[in-house]
Amino acid sequence: MPFPHLLHGGDYNPEQWIRTPEVWDEDFRLMKLAGCNAISLGIFAWAMLEPEEGRFELGWMDTIFDKAEENGVQVILATPGGARPAWMPLKYPEVLRVDQYGRRQKWGGRHNHCFTSPVYREKCQIINAKLAERYGQRPNLILWHVNNEYSGECHCDLCQDAFRAFLRGRYHDDLDQLNHAWWSTFWSHTISDWSQIEPPSKIGETQVHGHTLDWKRFITHQTIDCFRSESEPLRRITPHVPITTNLMMGGFTDVDYYKLADACDVVSWDSYPSYHDRSDDWLGPLGAVWTSFIHSQRRAMKDKPFLLMESAPAMQNYKPVCKLKRPGLHAVEALQAVGHGSDSVLYFQWRKSRGGVEKFHGAVVDHYASEHVRTFREVAELGKALAKLDGVVGTNAQPEVAFIYDYENRWALNEAAGPINGKKDKDYDGVVREHYRPFWSNGIGVDVISQDHDFANYKLIVAPMLYMIRPGVGERLERFVTGGGTLVTTFFSGVVDESDLCFLNGFPGPLRKLMGVRAEETDTLYDDESVAIVSSRKNGAGLSGKYAAAQWCDLIHAEGAKVLASYGGEFYKGWPALTVNAHGRGRAYYIASRNDARFHDDFYDHLVRQLGLSRALGVTLPEGVTAVVRGGYVFVLGFNRADVKVNLSARAFRDVLSGKRVSGKVVLPRYSAMVLEPVAKTQARPPTPRRAGSRANRGRRPATSPAR
């Protein structure tokens, strides 16, 4: 996008205020005050754009475009497919979804179209073409925002037929291949005609894992197909305008977002962390650590900056207790996105709705529509800060570390009955987070990738619970290690293939030779149980003394790997708990159990030093603080409820936000951030911005980048 500043603004729904257009003028006055330069327009405006089938009313949108242009505000124009006007389903019921019980849904809600329906697709194309024809040449149109947060599934006849066609393609029209992949002889589930296949349903089949996995793959496939169909008129009429669709918050994993991202020109997503719940703001399931992780995934998806398309400038109204955002946190959260690769800070929404389910959702402009309120002031403050950061726009990162976090793997893990079930399920996200946290605390940026991603550019790949290994991935990991890379994987890895069929001849399946271990059995523990892990003397992995393992314990045999720690209890006392295998020029670590935080700190801190991985500030940061480098700036982000001291090491910086020079030990007040620009001892040196694009240009260790 040819825009030289960070985008600041967000979802703008002027159609809600069409009866009082003076509000629109006030909006643009306030946008200026808040330092907002972008709006996402028309996301749920279909009923106002096409009040009757084929009758279009775009006058009000013309006015908004004019006002935006007069005020220097960029427009991200949405296509309105996220919610259909009432006339459509009443005339064409096929646009409505059918649920897994076979019930056609009624009109209402949103995000509930059948993504196969030819009528829905056609109606989307008509309105999208209208928008593209009318606004495609507007100078302030910078991006298409297609639909909204694609999600869900439909079981109508059209979708069922499309599912069968998808399967015919996948299995080369050969039912025998399908029956093998689904292991359908179990419980007499052999399919003898394609017409017998139905989607998973609670009143039908949910336990044939190959079937469930293929259904999930189909949902991704069909979602992308629908997205492409909606995008078709935009690509045809406005080939110069890039296209995105906003991905949902980090906890949403029903669509394989790596694949959806491939179909977009720009990745954008909606981040709604859960701050101020009972746990620390940085640690929880939707805390700051996880948010950094997902930002890193969004950036790595296209190896270029992404957009933060939605975030809450104040309270988000769907949490169990909707705490107000504590002062300062909003800026930290926004700068966290920018530091991790976002070229925008956009909100849901600009002005608070007067009615409807989101009337209490935080917005930049409150019901008391004044600039003299805390939220507005904080947004305006942030607007000033973002205006100082033109230097980061378009810059990328080149992490030395990658995490494999794979949707199909997650689906397969969570489907499996055993070896642990219950409320936490397999807790893939929790395990991944535990392994990622030491990198966050060390200020080490990561790429978050699927197992299909190129591995060549990393020094270290961490692949927790790599349960499913698709064809070729074992070999590619082997090549990565042979070439000098370091691989870390854990318990319950290399168990099934892409159809969820267990590998025969020993786990971790295709990784067995590379890891130099064989997992014979996997024990699981109750929440209140643990087993000691005893580090070997001279383990060379930074471990000392004992640690505790919980929930998962693989019982492994070393087959060439060196044992670095062993179990200290249970009937498997003395069995290996951590191993390393030298392979080619690299090494492969197998962590056999789910270990405590101290284990992860010791193990990864040592690995970081051993591999010479570059840390944003060259130090381990206090709890609740991370640092990330982008475009030569160091973003120091504090998510603590109390002030902490941060050691900036011996280097001198200028804090771009405060303008002050800082060095040595500084106090980072509660919920606050610094954006540090390195300065030479005698004179200030501006950072060298690096643009995204060629890998060589990815901003790796620029002249001004911080020391290891």
Q: Of 94, 149, 333, 415, which is the active-site residue?
A: 149
Interface with ligand GLA, residue 348, by CB under 6 A:
yes
Query: Within 10 A of 160 (CB to CB), how many other CB atoms are there?
Result: 17
The conformational region for residue 67 under phi > 0 = left, psi -120 to 50 = alpha, else beta, is alpha
Residue ranges in 271-300 that form contacts with ligand GLA under rule CB under 6 A: 272
- How many residues bind ligand GLA, per CB under 6 A? 9
Contact 100, 202 (CB under 8 A): yes
Residue ranges in 157-196 that form contacts with Zn ion under rule CB under 5 A: 158-159
Euclidean distance between CA atoms 135 and 590, whole angstroms: 55
The phi and psi torsions of 48 (rounded to 5 degrees) equal -85, -20
Residue ranges in 314-343 that form contacts with ligand GLA under rule CB under 6 A: 316
Q: Which is nearer to ligand GLA, 348 or 405 (CB)?
A: 348
Q: Which does 466 bind (CB under 5 to 8 A by kind): ligand GLA, Zn ion, none?
A: none
What is the smallest separation between the CB atom of 160 and Zn ion, expressed in angstroms? 8
Interface with ligand GLA, residue 594, by CB under 6 A:
no
Strand runs (DSSP E) across 152-244, as ranges? 243-244
Q: Which does 159 bind (CB under 5 to 8 A by kind): Zn ion, ligand GLA, none?
A: Zn ion
Is 520 noted as a catalytic residue in this protein? no
What secondary structure does DSSP assign to 62-83, as a single string? HHHHHHHHHTT-EEEEEP-TTS
Q: Which is nearer to ligand GLA, 149 or 214 (CB)?
A: 149
Contact 562, 523 (CB under 8 A): no
Q: Which is nearer to ligand GLA, 8 or 361 (CB)?
A: 361
Euclidean distance between CA atoms 209 and 217, whole angstroms: 12
Euclidean distance between CA atoms 661 and 76, whole angstroms: 37
- When CB distances to ligand GLA are compared, the closest residue is 270
Query: Residue 350 is encoded by which pair of tokens?
Result: 């600009």
Stretch that binds Zn ion, among 109-117, 183-191, 382-390, 534-542 (CB under 5 A): 109-117
The phi and psi torsions of 270 (rounded to 5 degrees) equal -110, 115
Is 149 noted as a catalytic residue in this protein? yes
Residue 329: name the closest of 34, 630, 36, 637 by CA: 637
Q: Which does 156 bind (CB under 5 to 8 A by kind): ligand GLA, Zn ion, none?
A: Zn ion
Side-chain-facing half-sphere of 705: CA atoms under 13 Å? 21
Amino acid code (one letter) for 580: V
Euclidean distance between CA atoms 246 and 242, whole angstroms: 13
Q: Which is nearer to ligand GLA, 27 or 94 (CB)?
A: 27
| Residue 583, beta-bridge partner list | 586
Euclidean distance between CA atoms 279 and 281, whole angstroms: 6
Interface with Zn ion, residue 156, by CB under 5 A:
yes
Q: Which is nearer to ligand GLA, 258 or 272 (CB)?
A: 272
Interface with Zn ion, residue 154, by CB under 5 A:
yes
Helices 22-33 and 374-387 pack at an angle, to 10 degrees, of 60
Residue of 27, 50, 94, 149 interacting with ligand GLA (CB under 6 A): 149
End-to-end CA distance of the chain: 33
Residue of 8, 351, 361, 435 interacting with ligand GLA (CB under 6 A): 361
Q: Which is nearer to Zn ion, 94 or 281 (CB)?
A: 94
Q: Which is nearer to ligand GLA, 211 or 361 (CB)?
A: 361
Q: Which residues of 582-593 are buried (b: 16+ CB within 10 A; e: fewer)?
A: ebeebbbbbbbb
Residue of 94, 230, 303, 310 interacting with ligand GLA (CB under 6 A): 310
Residues 6+ away with beta carbon under 8 Å from 294: 250, 269, 271, 448
Q: From residue 203 to residue 232, what is the string marking binding to ligand GLA with x (rule CB under 6 A)?
A: ------------------------------
Interface with Zn ion, residue 114, by CB under 5 A:
yes
Stretch that binds Zn ion, among 37-45, 113-121, 651-659, 686-694 (CB under 5 A): 113-121
Interface with ligand GLA, residue 269, by CB under 6 A:
no
Residue 166: name the closest of 127, 115, 232 by CA: 115
Interface with ligand GLA, residue 270, by CB under 6 A:
yes
Q: Which does 154 bind (CB under 5 to 8 A by kind): Zn ion, ligand GLA, none?
A: Zn ion
Residue 132: name the closest of 253, 238, 249 by CA: 238
What is the smallest separation between the CB atom of 333 and ligand GLA, expressed in angstroms? 14
What is the smallest separation between the CB atom of 607 and ligand GLA, expressed in angstroms? 37
Residue of 37, 116, 489, 704 interacting with Zn ion (CB under 5 A): 116
Query: Residue 148 is encoded by which pair of tokens?
Result: 């909204």
Q: Which is nearer to ligand GLA, 28 or 348 (CB)?
A: 348
Residue 296: name the closest of 331, 271, 330 by CA: 271
Euclidean distance between CA atoms 501 and 408, whole angstroms: 13
Residues 6+ away with beta carbon under 8 Å from 182: 189, 191, 208, 210, 211, 214, 499
Interface with Zn ion, residue 223, by CB under 5 A:
no
Q: Which is nearer to ligand GLA, 361 or 594 (CB)?
A: 361
Q: Of 310, 378, 400, 434, which is the active-site residue?
A: 310
Amino acid code (one letter) for 38: A
Contact 424, 430 (CB under 8 A): yes
What is the smallest separation between the CB atom of 156 and Zn ion, expressed in angstroms? 3
Q: Which is nearer to ligand GLA, 153 or 310 (CB)?
A: 310
**Max CA-CA distance within the chain?**
79
Interface with Zn ion, residue 222, by CB under 5 A:
no
Contact 445, 296 (CB under 8 A): yes
Residue of 79, 140, 148, 212 interacting with ligand GLA (CB under 6 A): 148
Q: Which is nearer to Zn ion, 255 or 309 (CB)?
A: 255
Q: From residue 101 to residue 140, what is the string marking binding to ligand GLA with x (rule CB under 6 A)?
A: ----------------------------------------
Stretch that binds Zn ion, among 148-156, 412-420, 509-517, 694-702 (CB under 5 A): 148-156
What is the smallest separation between the CB atom of 318 and ligand GLA, expressed in angstroms? 6
Q: Which does 7 bind (CB under 5 to 8 A by kind): ligand GLA, Zn ion, none?
A: none
Residues 6+ away with beta carbon under 8 Å from 288: 273, 275, 281, 282, 333, 336, 624, 626, 637, 639
What is the smallest separation between the CB atom of 463 and ligand GLA, expressed in angstroms? 30
Q: Which residue has the tokens 């991200």?
A: 76
Contact residues for Zn ion, defined by CB under 5 A? 114, 116, 154, 156, 158-159
Residues marked active site are found at: 149, 310
Contact residues for ligand GLA, defined by CB under 6 A? 148-149, 270, 272, 310, 316, 348, 358, 361
